[in-house]
Structure 1
Amino acid sequence: MPGCVPAGSFAHFYSCHAAILAAVRQKIHLSYCPILPGHLSSGWSLVKTQCQPGSYNSPTRLVATSPSGKALACDHPDCLGNLFFDIEGAWETDRPGEFAFLKREGWGGSMLGLFLWQPGHPPHRLLTTEDLLVGCEGLGQRLVCARESARQPRHLMTLDLRDHGRSRTLFDPNPDFQRIALGSAQRLHWRNDRGQESYGDLVLPPRIKPGQKLPLVIVQYVTRGFLRGGTGDEYPIQLFARNGFAVLSFQKPAPLFAAEGNDGTLAAILPRLNSNWDDRRDIHSSLMVGIRSVLARSDIDPDRIGISGVSDGSTTMQFGLINSPGLFKAASVGSCCVDPTAMMIYGGSGLAHERTAWGYPPASGPGSEAWKPLSLPVNSPELMAPLLMQLADNEFLVAMETLAAYQRNKRPVEARIFPQEFHLKVQPEHRLNIYCRNLRWFGFWLDQPIASVSCPPDARDVERWSAMKAIVNNRPSS
């Protein structure tokens, strides 16, 4: 199918996802996606088929074709997947007609399983891991992959397909990293209010004094592999931990339609997700249950919780400030915001038409009241926790509605615009500035000192933020 690339490519899963999405949008009848390069020397081929062609969330299965042209499907549960619990790559081994494949599985899709499959026989599981395996390539009886875990950055390694998936490191680009004192990382599992499986990683400081109460920072919205800085890499998790913060690295749950088994087209599914902001409520529920599970510990301070996020994580921040008032004492976002005027007018007519089709309310007039559960500017200023906005110059315009509302109501806000950046910032100097300012921001508002060796202090920041705090403290109570 056009648009798909070999399974050995790092981009394979995302490319096939994009191809399926494009096909659904164009109402193309899509039934399969090749997951191995064509013209294998063995004569075999392997495809991932849709059990319900045209369905965005269709179950999938593996089908191998022998050199004689005989198609052999694998209907074993380990060969079946869907958009969010799918087979992420497959490779032919040194034995013609035998395939290795990686599948997303486990609690909330938090794990990867490695399997061997000979068509006509059930697949054989080699290993299950919480580690992230990406960019794998077949090398006979081994796979060569990039691997990373919660506390270990990406490195090259092999998986031996004849020895239960035993791993061996080929190259570690960060050998000195092992000498750094890291905070502990604990995987947490829970269910949200709908019973949907959710998870996150709780990272604690390397050293905790007896009786010490830790401030908590939420980092979003994918927590797989090395815990670096969340989606967008703007919130250095281990650096927060070294400065006395607890960090909950939160995994956004799969959309509601995945949990419900919805087999509709994307065009039919999206309005369902945004009706009464149901999908946002589902994400918020997962986050709240996760926070409650963390607060059940005796060493987390419930009065010092901050929230951060980029992209979808920014929207979770908005929803959290409004729907759990007073819980978050500070917030920081790397992009912003989903507001009526910003999204439906400032974003341009193309964006407005797209979001209308998604089920978003109009910017004004009848129906516009539906923005209240999501948009800060249409709510009480008392919900506006201190907010740091570190924005790319190519998309800062859509943040202006929230920024103006904060300024109009004299609420603590600071906006920084980074030149020649897009949705995710990539320039090293910008990334370093973003790291430091986030550390200082949460340190200031959550009353947690930041070591100068981690991030040099900035007296100008302290002066500005102290003036903001003074204005808030002097406001008459409502």
Structure 2
Amino acid sequence: MPARDGNEPTTRALVPDDLLRLRDIGLPEGSMVTSHTPLSVSPDGRSLAFLINRANPDTNSYCRALVVLDVASGGTRVVDTGGELITLSYILRGMLEEPGFPDLIVPVWSPDGRWIAYRKKVDGRVQAWRVAADGSGANAVAATADDAESVGWTADGTRILVGVRPGIRETRALIAEEGRSGYLYDDRFNPTTGAFPKITGEHPRVVLSAAPEGGDIRAADAGDAAQLGADVTLGGGSMFSATSRAGRASAKRDFLGPLMLHVEDAAGKAIPCEADICSGKITGLTWIDDTLFVVRSQGRANNEMAIWRWRPGKDNPRQILAGPDVLQGCTAAAGRLICLRENATTPRRVVAIDPGTGHVTVLYDPNPEFASIRLGTSRRLFFSNNVGIETWAELVVPPGYAGGKLPMVVVQYHSDGFLRGGTGDEYPVHAFAARGFAVLSFERPPFFATVKGTPKNNDELMATNNTDWAERRSLLSSVEAGVQKAIDMGIADPARIGITGLSDGASTAAFALINSDRFAAAAMSNCCMEPGAIATYGGPVWARAMQSQGYPPATRPNPEFWEPASIVQNAARIDTPILLQLADREYLHALDVWTVLTELGKPVEMYVFPDERHIRWQPVHRRATWERALDWFDFWLRGRRDESPAKTAQYARWDAMRQGQKTNEKP
């Protein structure tokens, strides 16, 4: 929990650890929209319970605290501490995936408001815990053989419910037994994640019932199990919904179409809604008495968020709040809307919103230190690409910027809320600005296929996107349009532009290295879409999925298809310095690229982080990634270096790369 001694300087410069040690409530990225709020309202509506999570890179761990907030006063108390980071798992292409992103932890109040149940990971196991709401004690409830996926209470509050998936443990045991005689290489394999079969299948949830004080674990009966809600695919999303005495509202869609709002009264009769708010990018629903509040993205390129109020069947929807700030997890308590709110230069806070006027009051700021930290200034830019698709970006300049051309780094591929490190939190925007860079924090435009057509499923979507690399061309055109706007404003130096990326952003960066002369340095956290990666390294299921989207199979090499997108095929003409910082579960995809670039004497450096996922989950690795990326762009775009003796070897390698780059320059 934050503590202030009153002796902080009025302002000070930001250091990267300020961003790394942010206290998070809910999922860390502002772009992550979920149908569940991390803010749990007590039965009497007077208190909120939520989990705070803070990285500690010194110990490579997380500080976690369960907090209760009094809605009237904003006062907080810590009711439990400890536990390890719980990361998300889900089924993708029939396989259990663990991308490294934090899972959302939602505390659950007992019906009498005296206790809170939540999931806590201790010694590698996720269990259900019971915590006294007044902070007087806590205990583990059920030492189950399987990780707790969800928790709840029976209707009478006498027992705690725990959702588990024993099929995962059972499948893992079968795989271990299979290893005694060798694994059959089949559809269960994804070689990049390890030389063993992955867990496959849906593995239905089993609901257990336990005594709150611990023990007496047994299968829950059907009535009690229903308290946890319907079973959904592991990690799968659900539609937005909200229920009150006045009726029920839900928002759902077909594939990638707009979310459609459906409302029924208390008797189940549909109430039509013809207003614009009833379709589009809806991100939250909640009721206060007979009034439904709809949170949605709107405005130019959906860059704003707004709250609308509507009494279904009684009046027309009315907007009470709109602007560039991100609103997440909105719920109702004590007659007000309670939301998480943040913007480009303000970390997330808990706020109360007047349901009639939209007036906002800050209830709790988990990161008060940022009031005394100097951040760069940000402005929102809008631009369209060469096929007319509009998007936006935040252009951040250093604190005290007084004009002149700056080196600029592009960070991708979402820019919602407080600017951390882009998608995956890999490239710290405000830390780059503090070093003297301009930063273009880029918001990904809609898929080419959804703007230019109406795909009915993912295969159709990707097949359209991949035809003549239409999606990659669209994205690169958008990035270049944003960069050009910053150049035209006299802020970005056209000769000193860098590009970064993770996941889809890394694919955009790789495509840019082949198809653009704009970028003088690059850093990627994944690499790369190459023939070998598509046909082999991702395993048989991945290969077939890619073939269904238009990629050629291994038996029919197609150099012409790959010409616009393969770094390997274009390596001889790529001279841009490339930094690769990769997870051990993904680096195989980059070996072809690294090998060819290295053989040609190109400036490339690759690091592999142990026990990492698609998203870096270990704080010490994120710190190392940030520091090296900052040094990399300082060296290549600003000609500066950190004089620390510990980095002597690093700069010796980079100096040799620069000399080789000069030697290879075309006359």
Q: TM-score range by the shorter chain?
A: 0.7 to 0.9
Provide the residue aligned with 1:247 in structure 2. Answer: 439
**Do residues 429 (structure 1) and 625 (structure 2) align?**
no
Q: For 1:424, what is the secondary structure of its paired residue?
A: coil
Provide the residue aligned with 1:90 in structure 2. Answer: 285
**Distance change (3 Å), C-alpha of 1:363 and 1:407:** farther
**Do residues 110 (structure 1) and 303 (structure 2) align?**
yes
Q: TM-score, normalised by structure 1?
A: 0.87
The answer to whether the Cα contact below 8 Å between 1:136 and 1:143 also exists between their aligned partners in 2 is yes
Q: TM-score, normalised by structure 2?
A: 0.63
- Render the CA deviation track for 1:65-94: whole Å, top value 9, x for unaligned: 11222111212112111xxxx11110011x
Which one of 270, 274, 281 corresponds to residue 71 of structure 1?
270
Structure 2 matches for 1:109-148, cutoff 5 A? Answer: 109-120=302-313, 121-148=315-342
Q: For 1:36, what is the secondary structure of its paired residue?
A: strand
Provide the residue aligned with 2:346 in structure 1. Answer: 152
Which one of 48, 52, 60 corresponds to residue 259 of structure 2?
60
The answer to whether the Cα contact below 8 Å between 1:394 and 1:420 also exists between their aligned partners in 2 is yes
> How many residues in Structure 1 have an aligned counterpart in Structure 2?
442
In 1: Cα distance, 2:599 partner to 2:444 partner: 32
The answer to whether the Cα contact below 8 Å between 2:641 and 2:651 also exists between their aligned partners in 1 is no
Q: For 1:270, what is the secondary structure of its paired residue?
A: helix
The answer to whether the Cα contact below 8 Å between 2:331 and 2:338 also exists between their aligned partners in 1 is yes
The amino acid of 1:92's aligned partner reads W
**Do residues 416 (structure 1) and 621 (structure 2) align?**
no
**Distance change (3 Å), C-alpha of 1:165 and 1:448:** farther
In 2: Cα distance, 1:476 partner to 1:64 partner: 65
5+ residue gaps, structure 1? 12-17, 27-32
Provide the residue aligned with 1:371 in structure 2. Answer: 562
5+ residue gaps, structure 2? 1-32, 40-89, 95-201, 203-237
**Do residues 46 (structure 1) and 235 (structure 2) align?**
no
In 2: Cα distance, 1:384 partner to 1:56 partner: 41
The answer to whether the Cα contact below 8 Å between 1:295 and 1:302 also exists between their aligned partners in 2 is yes
In 2: Cα distance, 1:253 partner to 1:119 partner: 33
Provide the residue aligned with 1:268 in structure 2. Answer: 460
The amino acid of 1:334's aligned partner reads S
Provide the residue aligned with 2:293 in structure 1. Answer: 100
- Render the CA deviation track for 1:12-60: whole Å, top value 9, x for unaligned: xxxxxx99x99xxx9xxxxxx753355x4x151112254xxxx423333
The answer to whether the Cα contact below 8 Å between 2:498 and 2:520 also exists between their aligned partners in 1 is yes
Provide the residue aligned with 2:655 in structure 1. Answer: 466
Between Structure 1 and Structure 2, which shows a larger proportion of helix residues? Answer: 1
**Distance change (3 Å), C-alpha of 1:239 and 1:339:** same
Provide the residue aligned with 1:207 in structure 2. Answer: 400
Provide the residue aligned with 2:241 in structure 1. Answer: 36
Between Structure 1 and Structure 2, which shows a larger proportion of strand residues? Answer: 2
Which one of 315, 333, 344 corresponds to residue 507 of structure 2?
315
The answer to whether the Cα contact below 8 Å between 1:243 and 1:451 also exists between their aligned partners in 2 is no
Q: For 1:449, what is the secondary structure of its paired residue?
A: coil
How big is the shift at 1:408? 1.6
In 2: Cα distance, 1:340 partner to 1:329 partner: 26
In 1: Cα distance, 2:415 partner to 2:606 partner: 27
In 2: Cα distance, 1:159 partner to 1:170 partner: 10
Provide the residue aligned with 1:399 in structure 2. Answer: 590
**Distance change (3 Å), C-alpha of 1:366 and 1:309:** closer
The worse-fitting range, judged by mean Cα deviation, of 361-370 and 243-252 is 361-370
The worse-fitting range, judged by mean Cα deviation, of 232-241 and 456-465 is 456-465
Which one of 354, 361, 386 corresponds to residue 577 of structure 2?
386
User: RMSD of the TM alignment (CA)?
Assistant: 2.5
The amino acid of 2:257's aligned partner reads S
Q: For 1:276, what is the secondary structure of its paired residue?
A: helix
- Render the CA deviation track for 1:254-307: whole Å, top value 9, x for unaligned: 102332351523332221111111111111111111111111022421111110
